[in-house]
Amino acid sequence: MTTANIDAFIVAGGLSPWLKSYAGTEHRCLAPLGDKRLIDYIIAALQGSGRIRRIVVAARPEALALLEGTLPADVLLCEAAGDLPATAVAASEALGPDASEKLLGVCDDIPLLTSLAVRDFLAACNAFPESQLYYPIIPKDACLSAYPDAKRTYGKLRDGIFTGGNMMLMAKEIIPGGQQKAREIFARRKSPLKLCNWLGWGFLIKLLCHRLTVADAETRTSALLEMRCKAIITRHACIGMDIDKPSDLELARRTLTYGKSQKN
């Protein structure tokens, strides 16, 4: 039996103003979906995986007030910071000095996430113990098979066409330094020339010519971030099925309703 030895945090500080008219709140984590909130589905998937020891939900103060007393007793709460790296630091601190060596960060907008997807992703990460940052990528055909009506953004590599997932496993020791790297990337984002120089023109040419492989991307990302990065190819499309527009919310409602009808 696999031991529950990974601590997780849910990044729940995001706001989606369009949700207000569809779900009565702009806080994604609080948005109702069927008889639960988005955050409840994600917590259930994490806890049901059998791999997660503790969970921290990092949210805005106004959302924390509404979450207080409504979550399982072993789920902790902390205030989200301004971005993912800073929130990872806050969550790690909330877990205390005995936090697991690797932490699973999960976005708050993937309510279709399953326990099996979490379990399989972590098992795949275990095959590369030397890596420090693990990121799921999902083949396009897997996404279209699971959610044919969903509109996703894909990138074409020599190995195939992929979209990114909405969770990440990271070694605890890289979290503090990750803030500075994220700020460097953010500072370059408005200058295409600076960004291209940083990425490397050879890398970009291979990308544009569809000659870039997953291994190439791992190597370049590892060099840029100064940490060992690993892309995990998974066919669990639910990891990439985020709720970022009304049609996604409706798709999630249909999927969950259909799933319930199949069980009855």
- List phi, psi (to 5°) of 134: -120, 130
* Full residue range of the structural domain in which residue 43 is found: 6-263
Which tokens hold the place of 27?
């806080």
pLDDT tens, residue by residue, 46-71: 999 999 999 999 999 999 999 999 99
158 in any annotated domain:
yes
Is the predicted pLDDT of residue 187 greater than 80, yes or no? Answer: no
Identify whether 1 is part of a domain. no
For the chain, what is the domain count? 1
Q: How many CA atoms lie within 13 A of 6 on its CB side?
A: 26
C-alpha dihedral sign at 70, 79, 75, 57? positive
Calpha distance 226→228 (Å, rounded): 7
- pLDDT tens digits for range 205-239: 787 778 889 999 899 889 888 899 999 999 999 99
Q: Is residue 92 in some structural domain?
A: yes
In a domain, 68, yes or no: yes
- Decide if 210 is inside a domain: yes
The pair of structure tokens assigned to 157 is 């590599």
Give 261: exposed, middle or buried? Use CB within 10 Å, 0-12, 13-18, 19+: exposed
Asked if the structure places residue 232 within a domain, the reply is yes
* CATH code of 91's domain: 3.90.550.10
For residue 159, is it within any domain?
yes
